[in-house]
Amino acid sequence: MKNIAYMIFLAILLMSCGDKEKTAAKSYQLDTIPMMVLQIQKTSRLYTTEYHLHKIITHNDVKSITGKIFNQSFHIDLPVGKRKIAIPLDATLKAYVDFSNFTSKNIKKAGKKIEIILPDPHIVLTSTKINHQEVKQYVAITRSNFTDEELTSFENQGRTAIIKDIPSLDMIGIAKENAAKTLIPFIKQMGYAEEDITITFRKQFNLNDIEKLIDKTTIENGK
């Protein structure tokens, strides 16, 4: 009887320890989420993509007269000479993800599976530069040279053209891939298998969405 009682006591003790271990493990898993949020927030602004673009801006300036005579439209190029210019413009585009407002709402967990929903990315034109040594222009003898004000205007037009080309670049897809390369090793250190980790954005962005993600202040400020 003593042996039987001892075995029963030992079984109860082991079951009790097992329940405590399960409770502790479950508590640890729950506690990893706030820790994960805190660590990801520390990443702050993560630059994920950088593009270096080269664009040639052209302008053909012809003096002309337009109007109407007897309800007939006319357009006449004046014989005072032409002005042409080709301006090489180098630009740098960057995409980044701002984690400063990252919260537990950006994390979905189901069993061993965990999904990190990235904040919406931002795209910014960080710099533009004219290579003045390679500017090519033709100015007829009867015309004046292009002014600095005109050159600045052409550069601004080039910036706008580059911004319009952004939706055709896969900056969003590359931003997600590079963000994953940064976050997955960190999440693995917290006990998750790589095949159980998913990094995604809240939606599949279309062309109209991408235009809203572009920071246009660099154009407005002429930076």
Quote the pLDDT of residue 195.
94
CB contact at 8 A, 166 and 123: yes
In whole angstroms, give the CA distance from residue 77 to residue 64.
Answer: 4
Quote the pLDDT of residue 4.
52
Residue 17 lies in a domain: no
Residue 140 lies in a domain: yes
In whole angstroms, give the CA distance from residue 209 to residue 214.
Answer: 9
Residue 208 lies in a domain: yes
168, β-bridge pairs: none
Quote the pLDDT of residue 143.
74
Residue 68 lies in a domain: yes
Quote the pLDDT of residue 171.
87
Residue 66 lies in a domain: yes
Residue 19 lies in a domain: no
Q: Which residue has better confidence, 4 or 69?
A: 69
| Count of domains for the chain | 1
- Helix axis angle, 171-188 to 2-41, nearest 10°: 140
Please name the residues in contact with 150: beta carbons below 8 A apart, sequence gap of 6 or more: none
Global pTM value:
0.65
Quote the pLDDT of residue 27.
42
Residue 20 lies in a domain: no
In tens, the pLDDT along 9-35 reads: 444 444 554 444 444 444 444 457 888
Residue 173 lies in a domain: yes
Please name the residues in contact with 194: beta carbons below 8 A apart, sequence gap of 6 or more: 184, 188
Q: Which residue has better confidence, 97 or 138?
A: 97
Which of the residue ranges 39-43, 88-92, 126-130, 208-212 would you say has the lowest mean pLDDT?
Answer: 208-212
Range of the domain at 209: 32-220
